Structure 1
């Protein structure tokens, strides 16, 4: 099961709560978790409203009047002492920790000394714990979040007038895709940003999926010309065809590395996230024999792979070329060879099998176990694999 959050109208805790309820998470699941943490009474309720003509679920958080000021240290104790699902507690701790760190950075003080305007409030406890409990209830394997709309203009708070996004939101969304607009208001709150970045497995457009449930959570405002709604789509992945992937080929020529190190270099680059890595023998200037090291990697992982390349080799520079990787849909099957399991990779185009290949490591393991030549075991594995396509 996977989910996609459409944050094209920004995000807040109550919008995420409404989207979860609209997608089928019972209000009681959220309310019981919130009450387990809250030191004072909190009640959740939901109703259907419209935002710019579109129906959505509005989640109301009702709290008692409280003048208690709470820090991240106080909330950490509340979470630790609560009778809360382990997964929900872990999500909530991560979210509050990110939020506290962002506020500390924005104000230039230690994390545990931050007195939050939002985090310490009961409604923020409800937002964070409720959303984390709802996501844990859904047990999603993947949660993709769209680029986040943050709004524009200025807002006025306890620290005076500041630009949108405010410092804490900008800090929280560091490294995540975001953009200004679509209306001149604050569209993404610190709590909303913290919840998104703490629970997203990735950011991007809606993945290929068969949608089963849709929840739309309404924000408190109803600005003209913009549906103030956050959507949550839940469903199953639609096939396993890898999308066309924007990638880089990183290359460097090396003539002074001990050749015995190359297997380790290749292995370390693959471990760091490279899709593939290979060597090409070349002859450099002055007639020196050398190798071109080529590494294929997605743009997202290029930085860490580049760092590993410099760490493991003697090169002092690389060149990079943008490419697009097209991959066929793949399936993994299992065949029996001499009573042993061998995994087989099938590549499909338009649902027709075009390539069948046994996993060589499995073949080698069977050969070792049966004391047979690898070439004979491979021939048997290929024959068994081809039977899968008949």
Structure 2
């Protein structure tokens, strides 16, 4: 039985998770071939082994057209009588503001996944993550779930990150996932409409009814756990604990985050096998 262990000493995001799994040795060409079964154009994948703090790991990113800002995620479709514009809250990397009418609702994202050639495992779990994030945003912004939607470009970035996470897990042949407690930053992060507390509201909302352990690093005034990362954790982790004594660590991988922090900003993962 193969176990994946997440050592989330610097939080988790979608690209950190995929980068860490690629660092364990997943063939990048095979990963791209499988992800292409999503049948959605308009993106380019980048993965490179680099060193940060003299530690080598994999930097993974989804490149989108230069003319647009990819970090636009959820839009809260507030009725015009309440607000003169819509708000965007990015689901993985940062925050931005837009007036674009190009949006995808949750049902449309689910339809893209359902109509793809991906495996049932990838489809089912990717939709679970999207639903987790959308439900949390709906509560935070006091909206019906049907009104929560993605900006066109932010949706593409999120779709590739979330679907890619389960493509990578399937290629790795993991049977179960354990994790350490998660670490987030603290303080506030600046968004288009002011300062947002860390953990960000969507992540905090996803903690409701769960027993996911999170500690805050008071020395880091930034977001470390993104809504995408939290959604993945809620979907895949079977148990939060130290590495069990009956597991032998076979490989270690690192996936780097985009934020520059005073300490190593990476997700460390261990591929383990049960001792005979």
TM-score range normalised by the length of the shorter chain: 0.7 to 0.9
Q: 2:249 aligns with which of 211, 221, 237?
A: 211
Which ranges of 4 or more aligned residues in structure 1 deviate by more than 4 Å? 117-120
Match of 1:145 among 179, 187, 207: 179
Question: In the TM superposition, what is the alpha-carbon distance from 1:28 to its structure 2 partner?
Answer: 2.7
Q: Contact 1:52–1:223 at 8 Å: present in 2 too?
A: no
Partner of 1:100 in structure 2?
134
Larger relative contact order (Cα-Cα within 8 Å, sequence gap ≥ 6): 2
Residues in 2 aligned to 1:153 and 1:223: alpha-carbon distance in whole angstroms = 14
- 1:313-352 correspondence to structure 2 within 5 Å: none
Question: In the alignment, which of 142, 166, 170 is matched to residue 136 of structure 1?
Answer: 170
TM superposition score normalised by structure 2: 0.80
* Contact 1:27/1:45 (8 A) holds in 2: no
Query: Which whole-Å CA distance do the structure 1 matches of 2:259 and 2:184 have between them?
Result: 15
CA distance in 1, matches of 2:270, 2:151: 31
Equivalent residue for 1:180, pick from 216, 223, 227: 216
Q: Partner of 1:165: helix, strand, or coil?
A: coil
Q: Determine helix, strand or coil for the equivalent of 2:170.
A: helix
Distance 1:165 1:156, change over 3 A: same
Output one character per residue of 1:217-245: Cα deviation in whole Å (capped at 9) or x when no partner.
00112312x11010110121235xxxxxx
Question: Separation in 1 of the partners of 2:55 and 2:172?
Answer: 25
Q: How does 1:154-303 map to 2 (within 5 A)?
A: 154-174=188-208, 175=210, 176-181=212-217, 183-208=220-245, 209-224=247-262, 226-238=263-275
Structure 1: any 5+ residue segments left out of the alignment? 240-390
Contact 2:103 2:152 in 1 (8 A): no
Counterparts of 1:83 and 1:62 in 2: how far apart (Å)? Answer: 22
Distance in 1, matches of 2:165 and 2:8, equals 15
CA contact (8 A) 1:49 1:218 kept: no
Higher strand share: 1
Equivalences, count? 238
Aligned partner of 1:21 in structure 2 is 22
Cα distance in 2 for residues equivalent to 1:41 and 1:31: 14
Q: Which residue in the other structure is 2:77 paired with?
A: none
CA–CA distance in structure 1, aligned partners of residues 150 and 185 of structure 2: 22
**Contact 1:119/1:125 (<8 A) preserved:** no
